[in-house]
Structure 1
Amino acid sequence: MGRFTDMDDDEHRLPEGMQRIGYDADTQRYTFRDANGNLFESEPGSRYGELRPAGFETPQSTSYTPPEDIEERNHAVDRNHREAMRTMLPFALLIFVFLLLVFRGVNGSFGMRADHGTSQVLDCHEGGRHIRVEEGETCWAIAQSHSLGVEELLGLEGNEDVDCNRLRVGQAMCVPV
């Protein structure tokens, strides 16, 4: 049961002597009768708005709108749009920063390759050179292509920080010449 069920009936909302007697679904108008028997209609879609005598039509607005009014309305809409954007901007900025931090935490590099834009300097031993890991390569494939085992590849000077389980595209590694 609702909180204000005693206010659901018409006697609390209508003037003394007025009674709602019908509803026309086609025109969406309620019909009321006063104490003298006069009939009144509500505005379309309004249950308790202004009442007017039944049978009298309200003048319909013309479809012609002067250009000055249109321009005035356009300026009002633009002002409201700017105010709404100004209100929403701090929240959008917070969401953007939050998503940026989430991507940073998940990816570790904002979606770019970790070595993109920076040159990783390796000090390979004499007789060695550095290569960049390409997509699809593994430590085993790199070691086999240079006639080494994985342990020998990781044991070369300059490969101390290489973790084969976390090998990234573009990562530098030392290999023998």
Structure 2
Amino acid sequence: MSRWSQYDTDDERLPDGMQRIGYDADTQTYTFRDTDGSIWESAPGNQYGQLHRVSSTLPRYGDDAHDATEPPHEASDDPPTSWRHDMMPLLNWFLLVGLFLLFIFWFISGTPKRVSPTTCPDHSSPYKIKSGDSCWAIAEEHGVTPESLLQHNQGLDCDKLPVGGTVCIPGV
């Protein structure tokens, strides 16, 4: 006989004396009764597996001490959870997304610092940086060395020349 069989019954799967007494289609939980009358429930969606005790010893359904039309339920001592508690993981997610977006907007809206002076000292002339310019091309165009161009423009980054900015060309 194979390991899995479609003919398994409650007698083969449940402990001795345990019997299935109900099924709730809304919560998809099975209800079982033990030999001492304790009520057990399965995890939602599982017919067999881990069971947890719902109530301790109660009279059986047909007994006079209990109404047979009402299933036995025990009131839970746990307070109901609020919607705030249920939404807390989403709050953390939205907080992270919001911080990420703030960082992106701050990064995009930041204007490049203009390290070039607006007025050039004596014996130098201003040059407005155009798109595609490099320190080497500017120095060669005006007949100076790139080193002297960098000495007259302290803090100038040749890798990030600001288009529209001004550099001072040392006089020859």
Q: TM (normalized to structure 2)?
A: 0.38
Q: TM (normalized to structure 1)?
A: 0.37
